[in-house]
Amino acid sequence: MTTTPPADAPTILPFVKHHRDGSLWARGQTCNGEPTGYWEWFRRDGTRLRSGMFDQGRQVGAWTTYDSAGKVYKVTTMKPSP
């Protein structure tokens, strides 16, 4: 039996974007068009640039920035929205 989600159920979709050269630029997911969950951004050489979490389109928690060798450069903790 197949069930249909309620009309007000959130629509969660994968998100992938590429640099002009075709290499991966960003990946994550959206919920009703807003970034949600874990996201990552990459340099053209494929090394990770930044990563962190979104909640209803807002950056939350610890966001990590990586150096060009892929090592942690800094971690920024996002403050909750008022």
46-81 tens-digit pLDDT: 999 999 999 999 999 999 999 999 999 999 999 877
Cβ neighbours of 34 (radius 10 Å): 13
Buried b (16+ CB within 10 A) or exposed e, 64-81: eebeeeeeeeeeeeeeee
pLDDT at 82 over 70: no
C-alpha to C-alpha distances, 20 to 33, 74, 80, 82, nearest whole angstrom = 23, 27, 34, 37
Least confident piece of the model among 3-12, 20-29, 58-67: 3-12
Query: Which band of pLDDT confidence, cut at 50, 70 and 90, is reported for residue 20?
Result: very high
Q: What pTM, to 2 d.p., does this model score? A: 0.84
What local confidence, expressed as pLDDT, does residue 50 receive? 98
